[in-house]
């Protein structure tokens, strides 16, 4: 095993150790000692990779997010094409096509996502979603006749509302089937969004 491979392998051991510990106790009470014991490494190895446990948690979330986003790699070009064409039917993203894979992935990995929701700012998710806004959300909203001053309010309303529903679902252990949560989210958002677009076309603030 090369040094690079060994380094990566050791990091993965600590990722898995943290995820396992998170299934048993709150993140705030996990120690470096416990992570090292679970991963079978010493403290010096831990600090060779990370400065704090937060750094390890961040790496775990990046890994999980990367896997999730890989589901949608094939959709990126389609989405960009729809933006360029102004195809509103394809630009409305609160649909089962987009939500179901997300909810299934969260349910399969709910332990780490619970921590992610609890440490949203610490993990830098706000920065990550800002880049998503710039690359996709803003161009999508530009295809709707929404007053410029309203665009980010519209996004925040739908995005934060959807995140609140998912956060509640996570907190309750994802006991309701993903299909039912998908139906709930799409039912709450699609009609109001269309009405908002129609109403705001007439508004010039």
Q: In the chain, what percentage of residues exceed pLDDT 90?
A: 25
Q: What is the pTM of this model?
A: 0.69
Give 192's pLDDT tier (boundaries 50, 70, 90): very low
Top mean-pLDDT range of 28-32, 145-149, 195-199: 28-32
- In angstroms, the Cα distances linking 37 to 21, 41, 73, 127 are 11, 7, 37, 33
pLDDT score of 199: 53
Distance, first Cα to last Cα, the chain: 63
pLDDT at 37 over 90: yes
Six-digit token string for 186: 């799409």
102 or 190, which is more confident? 102
Average pLDDT over every residue of 100-114: 84
Q: What integer is the mean pLDDT of 142-165?
A: 80
Least trusted range by pLDDT, from 37-51, 155-169, 178-192: 178-192
With bands split at pLDDT 50, 70 and 90, how would you rate the model's confidence at 177? very high
How many Å apart are CA 133 and CA 56, to the nearest integer? Answer: 26
Give the whole-angstrom CA distance, residue 113 versus residue 106: 7
């Amino acid at each position: 095993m090369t040094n690079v491979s060994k380094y990566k392998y050791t990091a993965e051991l600590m990722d898995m150790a943290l995820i396992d510990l998170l299934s048993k106790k709150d993140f705030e009470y996990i120690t470096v000692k416990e992570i090292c014991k679970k991963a079978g490494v010493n403290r010096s190895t831990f600090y060779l990779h990370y400065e704090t446990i937060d750094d390890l948690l961040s790496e775990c979330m990046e890994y999980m997010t990367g896997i999730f986003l890989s589901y949608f790699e094939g959709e990126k070009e389609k989405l960009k094409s729809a933006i360029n064409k102004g195809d509103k039917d394809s630009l409305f993203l609160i649909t089962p096509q987009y939500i179901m894979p997300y909810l299934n992935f969260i349910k399969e990995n709910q332990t780490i996502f619970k921590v992610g929701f609890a440490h949203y700012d610490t993990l830098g998710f706000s920065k990550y979603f800002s880049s998503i806004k710039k690359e996709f959300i803003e161009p999508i909203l530009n295809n709707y006749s929404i007053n410029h001053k309203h665009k980010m309010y519209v996004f925040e309303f739908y995005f934060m509302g959807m995140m609140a529903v998912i956060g509640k679902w996570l907190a309750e252990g994802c006991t309701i089937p993903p299909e039912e949560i998908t139906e709930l989210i799409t039912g709450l958002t699609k009609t109001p969004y269309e009405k908002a677009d129609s109403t705001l076309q007439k508004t010039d603030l």
